Structure 1
């Protein structure tokens, strides 16, 4: 608790993470919530949704809009999420950094395979 006391926490999905963290504090009978301990808590997801005018967005989609490399994400990693959230937060605050208007495609589209038409349906 000393580590976060009077700090400014930036969390990508703060509502989710704070419920989890506060439940853990409650489980060990800690008398305060994370919001009581910290000077400020900022939700990077809400900041991004507000900036982009969208109702739903993921951390990966936000990162892609800002050109933040997410190629090292091969599985869930809290440490990687924290690094990406920090990088994203600073870009969200910087009005000189222009994000893409929409999230770029991550996977290339595969061409549609031609299907064979049974001879009974073929026209001469």
Structure 2
């Protein structure tokens, strides 16, 4: 399994929902998305751009789900519906690779929301790639716990702010986990202007440095040195004398 993606632009994504389907059938069955969080990464470097939106699901949130993410019916009552934010979300992820932990969960919910708006419209996998970071974790750590909290502990990533699940916070934490699992963040690349500035600073440092003081050997030191070379010459060719 090649765990390092070749995609240059990635969106580390997480969602929260009104609940989880119990039993067989689609994961999204009977439930809706209430929060989307995503952070942008280009060439394995976080850009600072993110997408975050709470959503009015137009239905009640399960008490069990509220216990997980803390998002209540009252909190989302004045938030936009998915129909109102769908285009801004699609614009953000278009052409990127989505990285999600247990991606089938998030993707199936989002595809269901998109399908409710346009049954003939594209699914997410048709407009962007999808990478499941849980599959990577299972490959690297078979037979171990591979939820986000366990991975944070394993890779020494601070998740102390994570008292409750939250889409944007979990996406930010997952970005750190994903980079750690796949080899860490790549080095900072300087722009040509910054690189030129750095080279100029180094040159000025060299120019301002005082000349090195040369201490020459005196006659006594030279005599000892020549005596040592005489001993070397007796055992064979002395390279230091040509």
Taking structure 2 as the reference length, what is the TM-score of the superposition? Answer: 0.37
Deviations 1:3-26 (A, max 9, x none): 111101111110110110100010
Which secondary structure state, in structure 1, belongs to the residue aligned with residue 122 of structure 2?
coil
Which secondary structure state, in structure 1, belongs to the residue aligned with residue 159 of structure 2?
coil
Aligned CA-pair RMSD = 1.5
Match of 2:125 in 1: 35
1:41-52, aligned counterparts within 5 Å? 41-52=130-141
Decide which of 165, 169, 191 is 1:76's aligned counterpart: 165
1:83 and 1:41 map into 2 onto residues whose CA distance is 17
Q: Does 1:18 align with 2:107?
A: yes
2:144 and 2:163 map into 1 onto residues whose CA distance is 26
CA positional deviation for 1:56: 5.2
Decide which of 168, 179, 183 is 1:90's aligned counterpart: 179
Deviations 1:47-70 (A, max 9, x none): 101110127521110111000011
| Relative contact order, higher structure (CA 8 A, sep 6+) | 1
2:145 and 2:127 map into 1 onto residues whose CA distance is 29
The count of aligned residue pairs is 94
2:158 and 2:125 map into 1 onto residues whose CA distance is 31
Which secondary structure state, in structure 2, belongs to the residue aligned with residue 70 of structure 1?
coil
Gaps of 5+ in 2: 1-89, 185-242
- Give the direction of change, closer, same or farther, for the CA distance of 1:68–1:55 in structure 2 (3 Å limit): closer
1:36 and 1:56 map into 2 onto residues whose CA distance is 31
- Give the direction of change, closer, same or farther, for the CA distance of 1:37–1:75 in structure 2 (3 Å limit): same
Match of 2:97 in 1: 8
2:110 and 2:181 map into 1 onto residues whose CA distance is 25
- Give the direction of change, closer, same or farther, for the CA distance of 1:59–1:29 in structure 2 (3 Å limit): same
Structure label with greater radius of gyration: 2
Taking structure 1 as the reference length, what is the TM-score of the superposition? Answer: 0.71
Q: Does 1:54 align with 2:143?
A: yes
